[in-house]
Amino acid sequence: MDDLEKAILISFDESGAVNSALKEQAIAFIRQIKESPSICCVCMEKLCFSKLVQVQFWSLQCLHEVIRLKYSSMTSEEKSFIRKSVFSMACCEPVHANDVNSVRILDSPPFIKNKLAQVVVALIYFEYPLIWPSVFVDFLPNLSKGPVVIDMFCRILNALDDELISMDYPRSGDEVVVSGRIKDAMRAQCVPQIVGAWYDIVLMYRNSDPELCSSVLSSMRRYISWIDIGLVANDAFTQLLFELMLVDGLLDQIRAAAAGVVLAVVSKRMDFKSKLALLQSLQIRRVFGLVARDGDSELVSSVASLLTGYATEVLECSKRLSSEDGKGVSIELLNEVLPSVFYVIQNCEVDAALSIVQFLSVYVGTMRSISALTETQLFHVGQILEVIRGQIQFGPMYRHNLDVLDNIGREEEDRMVEFRKDLFVLLRSIARVAPDLTHVFIRNSLASAVSSSEDRNAEEVEASLSLFYALGESLSDDVMKSGSGVMGELVPMLLSTTFPCHSNRLVALVYLDTITRYIKFVSENTQYIPIALHAFLDERGVHHPNVNVSRRASYLFMRVVKLLKAKLVPYIEMILQSLQDIVAQFTRTGSASKELSGSEDGSHIFEAIGLLIGTEDVPLEKQSEYLSALLTPLCQQVEVALLNAKSQNPEQSAVQIENIQQIIMAINALSKGFSERLVTASRPEIGLMFKKTLDILLQILVVFPTVEPLRCKVTSFIHRMVDTLGASVFPYLPKALGELLPESEPKELVGFLVLLNQLICKFGTLVRDILEEVYPAIASRALSILPRSEMESGPGSCAEEIRELQELQRIFFTFLHVIATHELSSVFLCPQGIGCFNMMMQLLLDACCNHKDILIRKACVQIFIRLIKDWCAGPYGEEKVPGFRSFITETFAMRCCLYSVLDKSFEFRDANTVSSIL
């Protein structure tokens, strides 16, 4: 073993036993050898005499790189030497005629032979057909040497397809040109001989070496799309392929490969009249029985793909051919193959399921222009509905995982959600072309689910409910409301049903979702309101033992209340009584849980109650009674927690903080049902109750001044009270803003600015005094936090901190824009804030000229435009802001209106950019 071989072995070592310095030294040595002018000779020598596969691989890899990168600079002698050498290796001949001791590369592992094939293809890229026109013709006689050379020939053909011909991979323009050149030359010179060789090899070796035949057929499949189809689609070859598929005793591998070749023939692009004749001649019915074998075998999967491809092509012929004969033959062939397609997707574990669904979608799509479906078409549509129901069912083996929603259950649910999308699109297409059939099918499915026993699979019930839910997307509002057809039967059946498997999480969830989807029917048919309410309020809904279901039920119940609000007034007492324990449980000390976070955190039940009792249809006395019954105990809990805060240990304090958060969320949600007009104009007594609540909740900021979650929750409640109480919230704002005014944290400052923006947008100049009070501190803190230069993530920077600063910058510019555009620009000039004035002007100017976000540039330009109107109204009058006019004319106009527009970053084709100019 020489130094080069040792270096190659060291460089390939992945065991960790080799010293890293030694490995680097070996790699450097190899790199130096690669740059040697005689590298091709070195590689050939190693390939001829070294039995080390690492050395063989390195040598072939090195040759491949030399050919691809340095071919144009090589001498003709070097090219000839490489060509003859690699061709000899590929044909199992010694590189040098008298070298009887040379290594046979074709005895090496498959990855070495694949790399040799790549080297041959690299030569073909540059040399075929002009320099090396005989490469394929010369290879064919060598196939008589037996399987080892035949296998190598297949690898070369496969590599040629992978590297150059196949359009499954992105190709450069040059590669497309070379691909066309090679295919044209092969068609003219050697394709018939290659096809003949394929036929002879398969015929000769089908019993003795089925794996070799499989390789040949797999290579052949790749080439059918661009060779003369008559070379394969003839009596002899077609008969051989079907014999391979149909004869028992052969390995599934060769039978599946034969099916792959027939699929390639079926998928060949050609004139549709010729295609139909070809499809008819195949007599595909001969393979229908193969799909009844072992459902997950390689053969069944390949035959399933063949049948799907065949059905797709037949369907395409029926769409493209205008003659009656052509359409008749197409429909006949389609009707013949469809039962097998249905059987495959219903009974076999195959990879073709998605392509079958796509085919069925196209098939149903062809029926849209038909006024009345034939009996056969209706039968097929019914079969497709059965397919959909079967395919959307979860596997029983996942039942427990899905119910507890562990990692396995979560993955399976996500997979099924994605898989169902196409199936539900197909369902809706069927509902459009055969509505009556679809509705009856779903009714029967539901009826079957209703009568099923608990130990009968919950998956069938869930699938039936999911079908009914998905159907709703294709129904008009009129059908939903009127319940015409079977809808008038289905919705009442749904509302009054308690399924034996209702404890199952998936069944309970889809049941509630389905009721919510069809609630418009209940709205129009009010006699079903009590039944619908019970479905949400009993153990099927908010009282379901599974917390995920009960949370979802709370959210959906809130949506139902929004729609039925006025019609639910007679049922308020019953609803509140049913929800009494749920309300108490939500705000019980220590009941807060991380599981109750997110968009369905359980607080929606309070929003639903607020919507119910917040309407003027409820008498004032009752409304006050209901609201007091809810707010009083909640506020008392907060007051007790605040009194006990100092005497509690950290663990008790954490529990109390979580509980207070829950209470604030509940009150916040409850208040959403009360309008500003109701609490300030028509029923101020209700407004007074919310004011008292606000006063109590503001104490939280005093007792827990540094607890960010509580500050966020209180801020959110203040937002809500601004909308609910209107101007009557003003007496509470100084205290609230004083306690909320943050020190320097960007995240808190953002929240405070958002609150100020809401106040300005809602009340305008009425908040001038409040704004003049807080603006100096806010501006000073924002300007001290925000960097002067552009914020970008890079090495050593914290992405989260950068995002927070970018968000603060965006909100701060919005804040300045809101002030300027609401006639409050005088706030910038208040005595306490004048010290920040120059820094603010410079920040705005820099943003106008240089900010990457064109929308921020636009907003800052608008601020200056507004300030110009406010401060420079008279051309010769006294300046409101000394020096501002000259700043605008000399600095702003020059930098923003001239230099920044000339900058490369200014994109005139962008609509936002143009609008910022205008």
Residue with tokens 């040629």: 160
Determine the pLDDT at residue 897. Answer: 72
Q: What does 525-587 look like in DSSP terms, one character per residue?
A: SGGGHHHHHHHHHSTTTTT-SSHHHHHHHHHHHHHHHHHHGGGGGGGHHHHHHHHHHHHHHHT
* pLDDT > 70 in the chain, percent: 93
The candidate with the shortest Cα–Cα distance to 741, out of 779, 703, 787, 690, is 779
3-state secondary structure of 317: helix
The candidate with the shortest Cα–Cα distance to 438, out of 535, 356, 373, 346, is 373
Residue range 806-854, pLDDT digits in tens: 899 999 999 999 999 999 999 998 888 788 888 888 888 888 888 888 8
* pLDDT > 90 in the chain, percent: 63
Q: Is the pLDDT of residue 289 over 70?
A: yes
Average pLDDT over the chain, rounded to an integer: 89
**Do 793 and 802 contact (CB within 8 A), yes or no?**
yes
Determine the pLDDT at residue 534. Answer: 94
CA distance 384 to 426: 9
Determine the pLDDT at residue 97. Answer: 60
Least confident of 98-102, 453-457, 466-470, 831-835: 98-102
pLDDT band at 454 (very low <50, low <70, confident <90, very high): low
Determine the pLDDT at residue 767. Answer: 93
Q: Is the pLDDT of residue 877 over 80?
A: no
Determine the pLDDT at residue 795. Answer: 47
Q: What does 853-907 look like in DSSP terms, one character per residue?
A: -HHHHHHHHHHHHHHHHHH--SSSS--SSTTHHHIIIIIIHHIIIIIHHHSTT--
Q: Where are the domains of the chain?
A: 229-366, 370-517, 577-590+618-743, 752-788+799-917
Determine the pLDDT at residue 592. Answer: 47
Residue range 165-188, pLDDT digits in tens: 998 888 889 999 999 999 999 999
Q: Is the pLDDT of residue 803 over 60?
A: yes
Q: Is the pLDDT of residue 496 over 80?
A: yes
Q: What does 690-757 look like in DSSP terms, one character per residue?
A: HHHHHHHHHHHHHHSTT-HHHHHHHHHHHHHHHHHHGGGGGGGHHHHHHHH--SS-HHHHHHHHHHHH
Q: What does 588-608 look like in DSSP terms, one character per residue?
A: STT---GGG-STTSSTHHHHH
CA distance 388 to 472: 16
Determine the pLDDT at residue 479. Answer: 81
Determine the pLDDT at residue 835. Answer: 82
Handedness of CA 409, 413, 415, 420 (dihedral sign): positive
**Do 429 and 364 contact (CB within 8 A), yes or no?**
yes
Among 89-98, 319-328, 678-687, 782-791, the range of highest mean pLDDT: 678-687
Structure-model confidence comparison of residues 862 and 648, the more confident one:
862
Residue range 186-203, pLDDT digits in tens: 999 999 999 999 999 999
**Do 140 and 197 contact (CB within 8 A), yes or no?**
yes
Residue with tokens 């929003």: 607
Residue range 562-609, pLDDT digits in tens: 999 989 999 999 999 999 999 988 877 545 444 444 455 778 999 999
**Do 212 and 146 contact (CB within 8 A), yes or no?**
no
The candidate with the shortest Cα–Cα distance to 825, out of 786, 785, 880, is 880
Residue range 222-261, pLDDT digits in tens: 999 999 999 999 999 999 999 999 988 889 999 999 999 9
Q: How many residues does the chain have?
A: 918
Handedness of CA 648, 653, 655, 659 (dihedral sign): positive
Determine the pLDDT at residue 790. Answer: 63
Q: Is the pLDDT of residue 678 over 50?
A: yes
Q: What does 472-541 look like in DSSP terms, one character per residue?
A: GGGS-HHHHHHTTTTHHHHHHHHHT---TTTTSHHHHHHHHHHHHHTHHHHHHSGGGHHHHHHHHHSTTT
**DSSP classification of residue 616:** T
pLDDT band at 784 (very low <50, low <70, confident <90, very high): confident
CA distance 417 to 411: 10
CA distance 586 to 593: 10
Question: Residue 97: exposed, middle, or buried by beta-carbon count in 10 A (0-12, 13-18, 19+)?
Answer: exposed
pLDDT band at 455 (very low <50, low <70, confident <90, very high): low
Token reading at 809: 């910058």
Question: Residue 759: exposed, middle, or buried by beta-carbon count in 10 A (0-12, 13-18, 19+)?
Answer: buried
Span 326-339, mean pLDDT? 93
Determine the pLDDT at residue 596. Answer: 45
Residue range 78-109, pLDDT digits in tens: 999 999 999 999 999 888 766 655 678 999 99
**Do 295 and 304 contact (CB within 8 A), yes or no?**
no
CA 604 remoteness from chain centre: 28
pTM of the model: 0.81
Least confident of 21-35, 442-456, 610-624, 774-788: 442-456
Residue 341, number of CB atoms within 10 A of its CB:
27
